[in-house]
Structure 1
Amino acid sequence: MPDLLSPGLRVLFCGINPSLYSAVVGVHFARPGNRFWPAMHASGFTPRRFHPSEQGELKALGLGITNVVDRATASADLLEPGELAAGAKTLERKVKRYRPAFLAVLGLGAYRTAFARPKARFGLQPETLGDTRLWVLPNPSGLNASYQLPDLARLFGELRRAVDAG
């Protein structure tokens, strides 16, 4: 799955890994039940609800997308802890190269495992990657029933307000 990256992004959103569907169509967060695109609009990151095929338009808004792990799976729980830890190292290199203001990891459990932060919570993290601030959000996958669209919109909105505040 190709990353959507450019230097100096406002936010680099980081999924856990691509779904099988996303890998086939070559677009991030492409499964119809994924709430990433609706949450992006409802939180004010995008001026309208983008279709996944319009992901390239995010760069003009200072936004990008990557994943912790590149391997596509039917669900993120099929990933091994070692894959997440190795993915975190690759992600750190990307962040140091592209220097986004924020890295937003979409999945608390994945963040805890990948970055060895077992007590991490949602929101702004105390550590940084260089000058990049870290933020953790819920996984927007339709398989994550714990967070519905209003919850995601609120939490994504907290990040957007922090980004806008600088």
Structure 2
Amino acid sequence: MLDVHTKTNKGIFLFLERTKKLINAIYGGAGSGKSWTIAQFLIFKKLYGEEDKRILVTRKTLPSLRITAYKLVLDLLGKYRLPYQLNKSEMTISVGSNQMLFKSLDDPEKIQSYEGNYIWVEEATEITHKDFMQLKIRLRRDTDTLNQMFLSFNPIDQFHWLNLKLLNPEVTEDEKEP
């Protein structure tokens, strides 16, 4: 077990620890700690806290993924001086039997054969509902725990697909503004 002292958004971290849902939406304003907290949760509780797990971290484009979630995870691993193996060309971090893979969704074909335990979609408002459904199918790896997806994003328009299909599915097409 890791003995690391860190600052985190306790409310978000507790939510992540306790949720038993397949799909989990974490949203809030810029600077609210969403990304930091999800990254810390995935590192401490999943990458180092479980065995034989595959974690996919994704965003719509590779350049955006590289300068946000990928950099954040590497920075946190360095900050806490945690041991890991890095494959830079594949953008993969390995810890024992666990693997954290970073892939963009600009071409969903890239993840078609992927089977994972956890998926983090950074800036989920960038992806389409079709992308989301493709990711949901990928949460199919055998596990002794619950496979889960975490979507992080800033507040959005009430008619964005995340609101219509995920957060407030009771809103019908007739209720949309012209």
TM-score, normalisation: structure 2: 0.34
The structure that has the greater radius of gyration is: 2
Ranked by relative contact order (alpha carbons within 8 Å, sequence separation 6 or more), the top structure is 1
